[in-house]
Chains A and B, each alone.
Chain A
Amino acid sequence: MAAHARARADASGGRFLDPTVLARIENLELLARTVVDGFLNGLHRSPYLGFSLDFAEHRPYMPGDDIRRIDWSLFGRTDRHYIKLFEAETNANFVVLLDVSRSLSYTSHSVSKLDYARYLAAALTFFSHRQRDRVGLVTFDHEIVDYVPPSMKHMETVLHVLDRAEARRAGALAAPMLTIAERLRRKGILVLISDFYEEVDAIMSQVLPLRGRGHDLIVFHVLDPAELEFPFDEASGFEDLETGEQIPVIPGRLREDYRRLVQRHVAELDQRFSSNMVDYRVLDTSQPLDLALFAYLSARERLSRIR
């Protein structure tokens, strides 16, 4: 599937969705715009994806506006160019819950998990802001690090906070999730991005209360390809990025066991989240971002239908 997505991204000019390319763009807003525009171009304006919008008003056409948005029937009647403006159907709260624990700093290639998560968060925030959602951001490790309450005006703030987010401390979901649940009282769309290095039961007990409070929850599980494949060869000491603990490892002998445990962990998360109406996606940081965006849009569409 990943290969298929990459092929599709390449074919549609979506090379801008490649995280290694995005890593070269320093301005996060430009990055988000690039991602979203590139992604939408790649969709060919599919009628089945997106949101229905209500007509709001007309305004005169100005150079630079998309000519496809010109109301040609009005032009026929008035012989003037007018642009149709729509009002978003939703005006929901959209909050990204971003894990910035130290384990997110890991990378086996050019893009760390935190960078990938940051691009994803920026793109989704930008996307939602286009949909006229109120956007917010919470970064956390074992406690809340930064909190940007959801607002229509907080787009740039969110991007700024994302831009300076750093993975420095050990992480734990319990305290931040509790705090978030208390602060975000109004229902909204919550996007939780983390690497979930905790027991499945613990994760569920800490994350599902958000769902219980009526939030629509979309979970992105960000993992580096090395965490999935465990491609190491030489016998080495492995050190935990968060705790500093070291253990000696012969990778060749542990690889299969390790993969099996990771797959089981992911499968359990998937099953438990799904059964609780939470959309769950595992994201490989070597894959293009459009996979995540597709997942997000699918979830939004599904949620909108349910709603």
Chain B
Amino acid sequence: MSLTFLVPLFLLGVAGIAVPVVLHLTRRQRKQVVMFPSLMFLEMIPFQEQRRRRIQHWLLLSLRALALALLAVAFARPFFDDSELTGAGAGGPHEVVVLLDRSYSMAIGSQWDRAVREARAVSDGLGPLDRASLVVFSQGAHVLLRSTSDPARFRGALDTVSVGSGTTRYGPALKVAQTILEESRLPSGRVVLVSDFQRVGWTGDEGVRLPAGSEVVPVVVRDEIGENIQVTDVALLRQSSSGRERVTPTARVARRGGGGPAEVSLALELDGQEIQTRSVRLGADGAASVAFAPFTLSVPHTRGTVRVPADDIEADDARHFVVSPGRATSVVIVHGARANQDASLYLRRALETSDEGRFRVRTRRGDGLRPTDLQDTDVLILNDARVDGASAELLRGFVEGGGGVLVVLGESASWPASATDLLPGIVGPVQDRTDSRGGRLGFIEYGHPVFEVFQGPRSGDFSGARFFRARGFNAADSAQIVARFNDGSVAMAEVRLGRGRVLVWTSTLDAYWNDLALQPVFLPFAHRVSDYLSGKADVVPWFTAGQVLNLADPGALEAAGLASPEAAGIAESQEQVVLAPSGGSVRIAAMEGPRYVALEERGFYVIRPPGVDPERPFTIAVNVDLSESSREVLDPSELVAQVTAPMVDAPAGPSFEAVELRREDQERRQSLWRYLLVGAFALLLLETVLSNWVSRRTVGTPGAATG
């Protein structure tokens, strides 16, 4: 065993010791020499003190030099070369990557404990030259430890891992392993995949190809379960009556496996309190819907959970949701003074027909706009109305501030020339098609949010409506044509202005110029138009584990259940604290660009400003992806065959790289540099103390000269 250095080049740093000595000498001899006629008188002055100080100075100099030497040697990474290890690890050391599945299905039985034991066994079995990486994965992969030869560190990292709420996806984890093996300088690689091998985690087209010669060792930890009862969905039906909003939750419960029929009880919890229970009888692989009694929704961010008794897979035994009182969309219909008396009849009736009270409709007859028409208004419908310049300017401010306008062009409708940019084109004369028995809608942009819901088969038929008259419309280049008649003329066009939007319907919405109002599709069409113009997003009652939420996106926050002003406030606020269901908290710092919150745990996330504890904080529900509950098994050999390349014969005997690595490994294990650094700092500390002491003594001594 001999002392050697991993980076001997740093030993040149020992030459740094000469620096203070040279400085000391040069400063004395060159820089600070004063030529003087005679030293006769100076030599008459005794300076015995000078001699003594010189000796002390050299002592300090020695301490500094020794500290510098220790630093240089520490950076040279010394170690004792142990020749006994030379032959170990025949065939070369391995780069071992342990992929540990932490999807929520791993919580079944003793799967997780066994998986951890298997991973620990891998680290215990590492050779002295092997290196191991620990990667945990569910739908994403996270490298906990990269290429260490220290089993203690590996075990320490392993102790920090627990089962998550994600779903199994082998692709990302294997790609991480591929990267680690490709970047490794060790001659052979091995991937140890510890999982319950669910079919849903592997599609075969992930495009993973491990480096040639790499070995995949599948470790199957799988417990069989008898049955799994899960809450698969919760529908929330809202109804408004007497100004109050009531919600009726309907849960969908399913039973996977099992034998004969079994009674399953479901509990509804609101804000953590169980308020209702229901029972349903389910057969093997059966499913049922269970409706709970409606509850009054009065406060925002109400947390709800539908829960079944715990079984082997706990993660899918509960379905969380968050509901807030909805705000009715305020619609103002300005009915033109010269328009037909009942021109707005069908439209008003369609909007008022809503169980949930989604629309609050006001109607005023007369041309022009008043400021009161736009007060607390989400959607303004100008139904065959004449608009003057002043009204157009009012309208401009309304639209740019986020309001939505539907312009229904009838016979009396007119638009000022000064505000043509508010419309998606220029209104033309009336086009009469009564001679040809009317026209039909020939083109509909089903990708547009208004018509998106009618895209599917039997989702609404516009072809039955006949259009006898319409106003000609010359669309601008910036306009989006949403619908056209079968003769190619524009039926509906849109233009965006500021944060708002303007839709133009070139025919009427009554029964005079067309019969659309008499078609079944008219009601949902009127609702979709109003919803779209109001700019309100569809609120999702929960997210799925693994999704992310961008706190800087007001739209995403509105979809998560926040009202527009609150969403804008959070999106613009400086900093937020996110409390996870497990109790941990994360600060989302203020910065430009997106601010993502990873929703990785099932339960309720609370988002609030730091230092504030509001009574009803912004809350997000997160549920697991139910595909993970599937117990369909993947054959490990299938996966292994798809990701491994044919074996290439490795050169016999330890390679040059292996020798280099052995030296690094020994140095890392011994870590002598730590002791040397401590020694150097101790010496510097001693030097500081000593020099201070010398300085104090020198100050008190008269007639002394320096050396």
In the assembled complex, A89 has its CB within 8 A of some CB on chain B:
no
Q: Which residue of A is nearest B46, CB measured?
A: A257
Taking a contact as CB atoms under 8 Å apart, the answer to whether B702 and A237 are in contact is: no
CA distance A23 to B32 in the complex (A): 29
In the assembled complex, B35 has its CB within 8 A of some CB on chain A:
yes
Interface set, chain A 251-307, CB cutoff 8 A to B: 253-254, 257-258, 261-262, 265
CA distance A227 to B36 in the complex (A): 8
| A238-B42 contact, Cβ under 8 Å, with A103-B37, A224-B37, A227-B37 | yes
In the assembled complex, A175 has its CB within 8 A of some CB on chain B:
no
Q: Per a CB cutoff under 8 Å, which of B37, B705, B706 touches A197?
A: B37
Taking a contact as CB atoms under 8 Å apart, the answer to whether A235 and B35 are in contact is: no
User: How many A residues face the partner with a CB closer than 8 A?
Assistant: 33
| A197-B32 contact, Cβ under 8 Å, with A250-B705, A253-B703 | no
When distances are taken between beta carbons in the complex, the residues of chain A under 8 Å from B704 are 250, 253
In the assembled complex, A1 has its CB within 8 A of some CB on chain B:
no
Q: Which of A12-20, A75-83, A241-249 contacts B (4 or more CB under 8 A)?
A: A241-249
CA distance A170 to B160 in the complex (A): 85
In the assembled complex, B1 has its CB within 8 A of some CB on chain A:
no
When distances are taken between beta carbons in the complex, the residues of chain B under 8 Å from A146 are none
| A237-B33 contact, Cβ under 8 Å, with A247-B705, A248-B706 | yes
In the assembled complex, A72 has its CB within 8 A of some CB on chain B:
no
When distances are taken between beta carbons in the complex, the residues of chain B under 8 Å from A249 are 34, 42, 705
| A106-B35 contact, Cβ under 8 Å, with A247-B42, A248-B28, A258-B42 | yes
CA distance A238 to B50 in the complex (A): 14
Taking a contact as CB atoms under 8 Å apart, the answer to whether A247 and B703 are in contact is: no
In the assembled complex, B417 has its CB within 8 A of some CB on chain A:
no
CA distance A39 to B165 in the complex (A): 109
In the assembled complex, B90 has its CB within 8 A of some CB on chain A:
no
When distances are taken between beta carbons in the complex, the residues of chain B under 8 Å from A224 are 37
In the assembled complex, A229 has its CB within 8 A of some CB on chain B:
no
Taking a contact as CB atoms under 8 Å apart, the answer to whether B35 and A239 are in contact is: yes
CA distance A254 to B41 in the complex (A): 10
In the assembled complex, A234 has its CB within 8 A of some CB on chain B:
yes
Q: Which residue of B is nearest A264, CB measured?
A: B41
Query: CB-defined interface of A93-127 with B at 8 Å, one 1/0 digit per residue?
Result: 00000000001101000000100000000000000
Taking a contact as CB atoms under 8 Å apart, the answer to whether B28 and A237 are in contact is: yes
A261 to chain B, nearest CB (A): 4
Interface set, chain A 8-57, CB cutoff 8 A to B: none
Q: Per a CB cutoff under 8 Å, which of B29, B32, B36, B702 touches A241?
A: B36
In the assembled complex, B612 has its CB within 8 A of some CB on chain A:
no
CA distance A165 to B698 in the complex (A): 46
Taking a contact as CB atoms under 8 Å apart, the answer to whether B44 and A235 are in contact is: no
In the assembled complex, A179 has its CB within 8 A of some CB on chain B:
no
When distances are taken between beta carbons in the complex, the residues of chain B under 8 Å from A104 are 37
Q: Per a CB cutoff under 8 Å, which of B34, B45, B702 touches A258?
A: B45
Taking a contact as CB atoms under 8 Å apart, the answer to whether B38 and A197 are in contact is: yes
| A238-B706 contact, Cβ under 8 Å, with A248-B50, A258-B42, A262-B41 | no
CA distance A246 to B34 in the complex (A): 9
In the assembled complex, B283 has its CB within 8 A of some CB on chain A:
no
| A257-B38 contact, Cβ under 8 Å, with A235-B32, A237-B28, A237-B33 | no
Taking a contact as CB atoms under 8 Å apart, the answer to whether A257 and B45 are in contact is: yes
In the assembled complex, A201 has its CB within 8 A of some CB on chain B:
no
CA distance A155 to B325 in the complex (A): 123
B222 to chain A, nearest CB (A): 82
In the assembled complex, B39 has its CB within 8 A of some CB on chain A:
yes
CA distance A261 to B41 in the complex (A): 6
CA distance A240 to B50 in the complex (A): 19
Q: Per a CB cutoff under 8 Å, which of B32, B44, B47 touches A261?
A: B44
User: How many B residues face the partner with a CB closer than 8 A?
Assistant: 24
Taking a contact as CB atoms under 8 Å apart, the answer to whether A253 and B34 are in contact is: no
When distances are taken between beta carbons in the complex, the residues of chain B under 8 Å from A113 are 37
**Which of B33, B38, B39 has most chain A Cβ within 10 Å?**
B38
CA distance A197 to B42 in the complex (A): 12
Taking a contact as CB atoms under 8 Å apart, the answer to whether B41 and A258 are in contact is: yes
CA distance A104 to B36 in the complex (A): 10
In the assembled complex, B615 has its CB within 8 A of some CB on chain A:
no
In the assembled complex, B43 has its CB within 8 A of some CB on chain A:
yes
| A236-B33 contact, Cβ under 8 Å, with A197-B38, A248-B705, A250-B705 | yes
Taking a contact as CB atoms under 8 Å apart, the answer to whether B34 and A238 are in contact is: yes
In the assembled complex, B40 has its CB within 8 A of some CB on chain A:
yes
In the assembled complex, A86 has its CB within 8 A of some CB on chain B:
no
| A195-B703 contact, Cβ under 8 Å, with A237-B29, A258-B45 | no
A99 to chain B, nearest CB (A): 11
CA distance A237 to B707 in the complex (A): 9
A47 to chain B, nearest CB (A): 41
Query: CB-defined interface of B571-609 with A at 8 Å, one 1/0 digit per residue?
Result: 000000000000000000000000000000000000000
CA distance A48 to B704 in the complex (A): 53
When distances are taken between beta carbons in the complex, the residues of chain B under 8 Å from A250 are 704-706
CA distance A218 to B544 in the complex (A): 113
Taking a contact as CB atoms under 8 Å apart, the answer to whether A236 and B703 are in contact is: no
Taking a contact as CB atoms under 8 Å apart, the answer to whether A237 and B703 are in contact is: no
Q: Per a CB cutoff under 8 Å, which of A236, A245, A262, A265 touches B34?
A: A236
Q: Per a CB cutoff under 8 Å, which of A232, A242, A254 touches B45?
A: A254
Query: CB-defined interface of A138-151 with B at 8 Å, one 1/0 digit per residue?
Result: 00000000000000
Q: Which residue of A is nearest B707, CB measured?
A: A248
When distances are taken between beta carbons in the complex, the residues of chain A under 8 Å from B703 are 253-254, 257
CA distance A262 to B39 in the complex (A): 12
Q: Per a CB cutoff under 8 Å, which of B40, B41, B42, B705 touches A235?
A: B705
Interface set, chain A 216-235, CB cutoff 8 A to B: 224, 227, 232, 234-235
Taking a contact as CB atoms under 8 Å apart, the answer to whether B705 and A246 are in contact is: no
CA distance A240 to B35 in the complex (A): 6
Taking a contact as CB atoms under 8 Å apart, the answer to whether A239 and B34 are in contact is: yes
**Which of B32, B36, B39, B706 has most chain A Cβ within 10 Å?**
B36
Known A234-B32, A239-B33, A242-B37; further 14 A-B contacts with Cβ < 8 A: A106-B36, A106-B37, A235-B32, A236-B34, A238-B42, A239-B39, A240-B39, A248-B706, A250-B706, A253-B702, A253-B703, A258-B41, A262-B41, A265-B41
A-binding residues in B (CB < 8 A)? 28-29, 32-45, 47, 50, 702-707
- In the A-B complex, the 9 residue pairs with the smallest Cβ-Cβ separation, listed nearest first, are A103-B37, A197-B38, A236-B32, A106-B37, A261-B41, A240-B39, A248-B705, A235-B706, A237-B33
B-binding residues in A (CB < 8 A)? 103-104, 106, 113, 195, 197-198, 224, 227, 232, 234-243, 245-250, 253-254, 257-258, 261-262, 265
**Cross-chain pairs A/B with CB under 8 angstroms, 11 sampled:** A195-B37, A197-B40, A237-B33, A239-B35, A243-B39, A246-B29, A248-B28, A248-B706, A249-B705, A253-B703, A262-B41
